[in-house]
């Protein structure tokens, strides 16, 4: 393969990960600050955040109101 991961190497790595079980060693954030930071991990770009979607709805409503007002004139 172009990236160096042959099917054999991929299978060997998968087996090693199953043996190591890194997900069992993870404890997550300990402090309130760490919890606050990790709670935002899903907002990598903000395009699916609640705040962004609410703003989009506000903008759409404003544009609809402007369009409706222009139709009346």
Question: Structure tokens of 58?
Answer: 């506000």
Nearest Cα residue to 61 out of 53, 72, 71, 73: 53
pTM higher than 0.75: no
Residues 3-28 have pLDDT tens digits of 889 999 999 999 999 999 998 998 88
Tokens found for residue 19: 């043996």
- Percent pLDDT > 70 in the chain is 93
């Amino acid at each position: 393969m172009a990236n160096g991961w042959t099917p054999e190497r991929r299978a060997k790595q998968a087996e090693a990960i199953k043996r190591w079980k890194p997900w069992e060693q993870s404890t997550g954030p300990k402090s309130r600050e760490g919890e606050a930071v990790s709670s935002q991990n899903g907002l990598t770009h903000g395009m699916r955040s609640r705040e962004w979607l609410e703003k989009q709805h506000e903008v759409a409503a404003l544009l609809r109101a402007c369009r409706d007002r222009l139709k009346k004139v």
